[in-house]
Amino acid sequence: MPGPTIELTIYENEEALLAGLRRRDPDSCACLIKRFAPLVYAQAIRLLGDADEAEGILQQTFIKACDKLDTYEGRSGLGSWLYRIATNEALMHLRQRSPHVNLADVAETIQEDEMPHRLTSWTFDPAAAALNSELRMVLEQALATLPEALRVVFVLRDIQGLSTEETAAALGLGESAVKVRLHRARLRLRELLSAYMQEH
């Protein structure tokens, strides 16, 4: 059965949507999911690197959001709030999935094979390239090849835009570990994307 067709502008703004959610207006739930599920799903899949697990996190995020709706104060905006719940749920899932290995056990120095080898300039305009679906796919594939410990730091710092301090706190790492992992992730991704850029 397809999801109901809901006009996303049925609520004038987030305040009206939130009021609808608190009244348990069924349209408001549909509107919340349709508006924010792609954002939540993107974050979950980037952190977990697995579509099935990301779907589980998507579900948990909205269910948890429903549970917390009455205490949500609306200071950060619904999107940021859901994004934060999704991040916490995904990180908790990662810790449960691999409590001792992937998140903690990683070399804290640049590896020899991470030194840059591809030294061709990129000619694209990043603002325009962000809209390029092929490039986005290449980027997502490259991201999925990173070891979990590097990928998670890269997602929180460079995609989500958290500070080093916030990332360290979210992952239970020291700030110097966050910096080294971010650096290693950037070098690896730069190398992978350079291969694509050379061909296009």
Partner 1 sequence: MTCEELIAHLSSYIDHEMDAALVAEVQEHIAHCRNCRVVLDTTRRLIVLVHDEGQRVIPADQRSALFERLHQAFLKRPQASNESAV
The residues of the shown chain that bind partner 1, judged by CB under 8 A, are 1-3, 21, 24, 26, 29-30, 33, 37-39, 41-42, 45-46, 51, 55, 58-59, 62-63, 66-67, 69-71, 110, 115-116, 119-122, 124, 126-127, 129-130, 135-136, 139, 154, 158-161, 164, 179, 182-183, 186-187, 189-190, 193-194, 197
Yes or no: say if 157 and 182 are a contact pair by the CB < 8 Å rule.
yes
CB of 154 to partner 1, least distance (A): 8
Yes or no: say if 86 and 58 are a contact pair by the CB < 8 Å rule.
yes
Question: Which CB, 1 or 100, lies closer to partner 1?
Answer: 1
CB of 100 to partner 1, least distance (A): 27
Q: List the structure tokens of 156.
A: 């929180």
Mark out the alpha helices in 49-101 (DSSP H runs). Answer: 51-68, 78-97
Question: Which CB, 98 or 166, lies closer to partner 1?
Answer: 166
196 sits in the region (left: phi over 0; alpha: psi -120 to 50; else beta) called alpha
CB of 70 to partner 1, least distance (A): 3
CB of 7 to partner 1, least distance (A): 16
3-state secondary structure of 162: coil
CB of 49 to partner 1, least distance (A): 13
Question: Which CB, 21 or 94, lies closer to partner 1?
Answer: 21
Cβ density class 60-76: b for 16+ within 10 Å, e for less = bbbeebeeeeeeeeeee
Question: Which CB, 63 or 169, lies closer to partner 1?
Answer: 63
CA distance linking residue 161 with residue 122, whole number of Å: 23
Question: Which CB, 66 or 169, lies closer to partner 1?
Answer: 66
Question: Which CB, 100 or 125, lies closer to partner 1?
Answer: 125
Yes or no: say if 139 and 200 are a contact pair by the CB < 8 Å rule.
no
Yes or no: say if 150 and 106 are a contact pair by the CB < 8 Å rule.
yes
CB of 194 to partner 1, least distance (A): 6
